[in-house]
Amino acid sequence: MRHLISILDLSKEEIDQLIDTANDIIEFPEKYAEICKGKKLATLFFEPSTRTRLSFEAAMYELGGNVLGFSEAGSSSTAKGESVSDTIKVVSGYADVIVMRHPKEGAPLVASMKTSKPIINAGDGGHNHPTQTLADLITIKREKGHFEGLTIGLCGDLKFGRTVHSLVEALSRYENVHFVMISPNELRMPDYVKQDILKHGNVTFEETTDLEAVLGKLDILYMTRVQRERFFNEADYIRLKDSYILTPKKLELAKEDMRILHPLPRVNEISVAVDDDPRASYFRQTLYGKYIRMALILMLMGVSL
Ligand code: CP
């Protein structure tokens, strides 16, 4: 019985296997259409979501299974004071696999200790978002062909943006990956990521506030939204929210084969005029996210063809 709490719960070989399965699902969806018949997936979302929740639900339906759950804490008995532990114990009797998003860091880990069903972390506070990382990895693999040797720009809110923390953890395991971290000083990558993951793993990185100065050397530009919900002070959010806005003019500085990723939702940080650029991969990324989540459900439930 497996959980997915951190992307490091998966080996590189398992990530390759998930990408291979997702690619097979993309090519031969009919083979998988009934594979989870009679199985149920619960989506427990204590925080808002569009892509993660709906892609998991679509994933389970496309595998022939069923879905139950809630999309906000206020419509569950959490509003009456029920603990996460009690909620998980109860839902474990109703579902075969549980997907959970929670504003508190570590909540999915606590949940995993209270159940015999697989728990999938769909985002815990500013900490981790491993299934977004799987969506990011399959996108990079499909669009660039490999991970090794890539120069990856991470731009925006690197302090609170949980997707970049998980992505750095995942990509640091590949040879000769170089990170360029582009953020305002107040939103720099946390020290634990730089010390424990990058320096500990001898992964090279640089930090800058200037996107245009580094754009020309990037193979991947991973844009992120400034995370309003994690700020204590609205004035700070207003001051920082438009620090970076990617436009067609700025993209003239980028390589022709660079790819632009974004976990979405987008606010202002990528101009809609960029969407028609062939380098814009972020909507394809949302679709690949559904297929890799299908592969993950199969892996954690131990289901094979
Ligand atoms: N990328 C992502 O987690 O999007 P949602 O918040 O819409 O799920």
pLDDT tens per residue, range 148-193: 999 999 999 999 888 999 999 999 999 999 999 999 999 999 999 9
Nearest CA to ligand 1 atom 3: 52
The stretch 9-27 carries a mean pLDDT of 97
**Mutate-to-test residue for ligand 1 from 49, 72, 120, 285, highest number of ligand atoms within 8 A of CB:** 49
Task: Kindly give the distance from the C-alpha atom of residue 202 to the centroid of ligand 1, in angstroms, as a whole number.
Answer: 31
Domain that holds residue 113: 7-128+289-301
pLDDT of residue 126: 82
Which pTM was predicted?
Answer: 0.95
Task: Kindly give the distance from the C-alpha atom of residue 292 to the centroid of ligand 1, in angstroms, as a whole number.
Answer: 15
Ligand 1 binding pocket (C-beta < 6 A) is: 49-52, 123, 132, 263-265
CATH of the domain at 51: 3.40.50.1370
Q: Are 44 and 100 in the same domain?
A: yes
Residue with tokens 């815990």: 124
Q: Are 87 and 65 in the same domain?
A: yes
Local structure of 67: helix, strand or coil:
strand
Question: 275-304: per-residue pLDDT in tens?
Answer: 999 999 999 999 999 999 999 999 999 998
Which residue, 122, 80, 130, is CA-closest to 98?
122
Atom of ligand 1 nearest to the CA of 48: 6
Q: Are 134 and 124 in the same domain?
A: no
Question: 72-115: per-residue pLDDT in tens?
Answer: 999 999 999 999 999 999 999 999 999 999 999 999 999 999 99
The model's confidence at residue 44, banded by pLDDT at 50, 70 and 90, is: very high
The model's confidence at residue 235, banded by pLDDT at 50, 70 and 90, is: confident
Q: How many C-beta neighbours within 10 Å does residue 234 have? A: 9
